[in-house]
Amino acid sequence: MTGRYYVQSLARGLLILETIANSPRGLSLTEVAATLHLPKATAFAFLYTFEQLGYLERNPETKVYGPGLKVLDLGFAYLSGRTILDIAHPYLRALSEECGATTDVSVLDGGQIMTLALEKVWRIVDYTTNVGSRLPVHCSASGKAHLIDHMIPELVALLGPEPYAIHGPKTITSLAELLEELHKTRRRGYALTDEELAPGLRSAAAPIRDREDRIVAAICVTAPTAVVSHEHLEQVMAPKVVRAARQISAALTVDSGVHRLKVEE
């Protein structure tokens, strides 16, 4: 990217922050330099500056950099201003209580979904998610709910080359399989995953739409396979997820209409 007002050094620094934030275990100086094709001295200058400002933290034992409190502050400041979260929270909590399971609201961000809000019930072994967590779209229920309006060229551009990464014992790894699953999701109005994202994990999700009928988020319910059967998930919990998604969509539409009216006045 170029332009009179484009600050290359700032863009490079933000890219370093994004790269580290998207790495589950963090990155070392050597890994940052290698990943972004930067001289070590340049990478160190950025990392040192971000560390001093509180945007990165360095583990003194492993020498690995991870997001600092300043990054979290920015994220929470962003989330706190999201109208959709203000609207969704009571429905999210009610769905969690009604189903006795973990619920979350997410948005699509490239080939991943990002968790915006979470009502956690189950503590699942070897699998954790929190506000700000990112999950792959091709093997998560929320991801599938986000993708049902995508055309094939959009899916190819979003997901990249096959086979797709395996995360659970039943992960869909091909475009053909995913298209078939999205067709089912579109027809029934909700998405399902059964040990696709992680072993011992089942989820159901439905899309949340704005006043223009665009998918802007997804709401999901998740429970361990040892507690919730596939039949119970599909026959009992999934309809509740669809109802919550429709309620949030309706509330979001009304809120947008009121906001637009105020602006026009």
Tens-digit pLDDT profile for residues 148-162: 999 999 999 999 999
203 confidence band (pLDDT: 50, 70, 90): very high
Mean pLDDT of the chain: 86
Tens-digit pLDDT profile for residues 187-200: 999 999 999 999 99
Overall CATH class of domain 8-72: mainly alpha
Per-residue pLDDT at 221 exceeds 90: yes
Instruction: Determine which helix (DSSP H) or strand (DSSP E) holds 56, and give its type and residue range.
Output: strand 56-58
* Amino acid, res. 85: L
pTM value is 0.68
Give residue limits of the domains in the chain.
Answer: 8-72, 81-264
Whether 81-264 and 8-72 are alike in CATH topology: the answer is: no
* Closest to 142 in 3D by CA, of 99, 187, 108, 183: 108
Greater confidence (69 vs 107) lies with 107
* Amino acid, res. 192: L
Starting from the edge strand earliest in sequence, which strands make up the sheet with 56-58, in order? 27-28, 64-67, 56-58
The span from the CA of 69 to the CA of 72, in Å, is 5
The answer to whether the beta carbons of residues 227 and 248 sit under 8 Å apart is: no
Write out the two tokens for 236: 């009992």
CATH number given to 81-264: 3.30.450.40
Per-residue pLDDT at 263 exceeds 80: no
Percent of the chain residues past pLDDT 90, beyond the cut: 61
Q: Per-residue pLDDT averaged across 24-34, rounded?
A: 91
Percent of the chain residues past pLDDT 70, beyond the cut: 88
What stretches of 62-221 show up as alpha helix (H) in DSSP? 69-80, 83-99, 141-147, 152-159, 175-188
Write out the two tokens for 162: 């096959």
Range with the poorest average pLDDT among 125-139, 152-166, 236-250: 125-139
